[in-house]
Amino acid sequence: MEIDLALIELGVIMLTLALAGRLAQLLGVSSIPFFLLVGLGFGKGGLVEVEEALSFIEVGSSLGVIFLLLMLGLEYTPLELRQSLRRNRGAGAVDLVLNAMPGVVAGFLLGWGVKGAFVLGGVTYVSSSGIVAKMLTDLRRLGNRETPTILSILVMEDLVMAVFLPIIAIVLAGGSVAGGMVSAVIAVGIVVVVLVFAPYVTRPMSRVIDNESPEILLITILGLTTLIAGLAEYVHISYAIGAFLLGIVLSGQVAEQAREMLEPLRDSFAALFFVYFGIAVDVKDLWKTLGIALLLAGVGVGSKMATGWWAARRAGVSPVGSRRAAVALVPRGEFSIVLAGIGVAGGVNSDLGPMVVSYVLILAISGSLLARFVK
């Protein structure tokens, strides 16, 4: 990699992001759609295509999601999360049925077979933890009454993905369902163990990590976070949920200091996540499947809003909070793109990739705007 050219490209992208963020501030809307559009401008078919800085942006985008979910986890204790998951089991089931079904039906109607239908069902089912976390942060809704319900649904979706991803990946690669099930059971088992035993290790772990030097504390937290995220990904749990669970485990003064120190890092690297998402898109390919993507997106907005509204009302949230919960779940993102990549590599259909990208962009942008204006 040409280091000087990579630095120039990265500098131009960061300054463009700064301008886009200022424009979002001026208009009083979320910066997410603007960051996605910046990514499109620097991607294939965009105004200027970046190459040398792409490796750094890819790593930075992963760190952005990790920091977003880590700081979300810092807002909750293990007991609060377990209680919220128990209260929202029914909402998780409704979410799965309402939001996976449109993709499954569309897959069969398009003639993509059983495998294609299941891949597309996963695409339409799972919301974007990264985008939702960014929205909640931007709009200062982390402490809202409806937020635990939203997070519970996101965590349950990630748990479903922990089961679904290894199975579908192995089946599409020509392996057996049994092989995928072994990976899935291991992944879910690790998550359950963390949730059960986290209350017993929270204080001791926080005492061990704590340090009077902010520099050492920050390095320790960064190292632990990236290590846990990498190990989670290795055993087929999303690195995002690995970071979220670590945030749940940390508590007390360490959690407070971590929130303060990580906030600028989170926002900077989260911007790279949305840029990378846009860069990965070839603008020319979007038009071929735009009609189908628009139809699926229209159904996806309705099904997610119904899920969020019902779950929040069932949890005793006010009508205003329920409306916010309804629109918060609309964006799709990283998991949908991952599933599309698995599906294309597994020979489902060449149109799957651009169609999913169009679908995700529509819902990422519309979901961000809806969250800003629905109060």
- pLDDT at residue 174 is higher than 70: no
- pLDDT at residue 177 is higher than 70: no
What six digits make up the tokens of 305?
């809003």
Residues in the chain: 375
Kindly report, residue by residue over 241-256, the tens digit of the pLDDT. Answer: 788 788 878 866 787 8
Q: How many CB atoms lie within 10 A of CB 210?
A: 15
- pLDDT at residue 184 is higher than 70: no
- pLDDT at residue 21 is higher than 60: yes
Instruction: Answer for the pair 305, 326: CB distance below 8 angstroms, yes or no.
Output: yes
Residue scoring higher pLDDT (176 or 154)? 154
Helix or strand or coil: residue 147? helix
- pLDDT at residue 285 is higher than 80: no
Q: Look at residue 28 in the predicted model and tell me its pLDDT.
A: 66
Q: Which architecture, in CATH terms, is 3-373?
A: Up-down Bundle (1.20)
The conformation of residue 324, written as its DSSP 8-state character, comes to H
Band of pLDDT at residue 162, cut at 50, 70 and 90: low
Band of pLDDT at residue 173, cut at 50, 70 and 90: low
- pLDDT at residue 230 is higher than 80: yes
Q: Look at residue 305 in the predicted model and tell me its pLDDT.
A: 95
Band of pLDDT at residue 187, cut at 50, 70 and 90: low
The whole-angstrom separation of Cα 349 and Cα 230 is 30
Q: Residue written as tokens 């995002």? A: 240
For 280, the enclosing helix (H) or strand (E) is none
Residue scoring higher pLDDT (1 or 203)? 203
Instruction: Answer for the pair 262, 221: CB distance below 8 angstroms, yes or no.
Output: yes
Kindly report, residue by residue over 48-105, the tens digit of the pLDDT. Answer: 888 788 888 888 888 887 887 788 778 767 776 677 677 777 888 899 999 999 999 9
Q: Which residues contact 8 (CB under 8 A, 6 or more apart)?
A: none
Average pLDDT over all residues of the chain: 82
The whole-angstrom separation of Cα 109 and Cα 355 is 15
Kindly report, residue by residue over 254-283, the tens digit of the pLDDT. Answer: 878 888 888 888 888 888 887 887 787 777
Q: Is residue 117 classed exposed, middle or buried when 0-12, 13-18 and 19+ CB atoms within 10 A define those classes? A: buried
Question: Which pTM does this prediction carry?
Answer: 0.72
- pLDDT at residue 125 is higher than 80: yes
Kindly report, residue by residue over 304-322, the tens digit of the pLDDT. Answer: 999 999 999 988 899 999 9
Kindly report, residue by residue over 340-373, the tens digit of the pLDDT. Answer: 877 877 778 878 878 888 898 889 888 888 888 8
The whole-angstrom separation of Cα 241 and Cα 228 is 10
Residue scoring higher pLDDT (349 or 285)? 349
Q: Look at residue 276 in the predicted model and tell me its pLDDT.
A: 82
Q: How many CB atoms lie within 10 A of CB 326?
A: 26
The ranges assigned to domains in the chain are 3-373
Among 170-174, 205-209, 363-367, top mean pLDDT goes to 363-367
Kindly report, residue by residue over 129-152, the tens digit of the pLDDT. Answer: 778 887 888 888 878 888 888 988
The whole-angstrom separation of Cα 337 and Cα 335 is 5
Instruction: Answer for the pair 80, 313: CB distance below 8 angstroms, yes or no.
Output: no
Q: Is residue 244 classed exposed, middle or buried when 0-12, 13-18 and 19+ CB atoms within 10 A define those classes? A: buried
Q: Mind spelling out the 3-state secondary structure of 98-140?
A: HHHHHHHHHHHHCCCHHHHHHHHHHHHHCCCHHHHHHHHHHCC
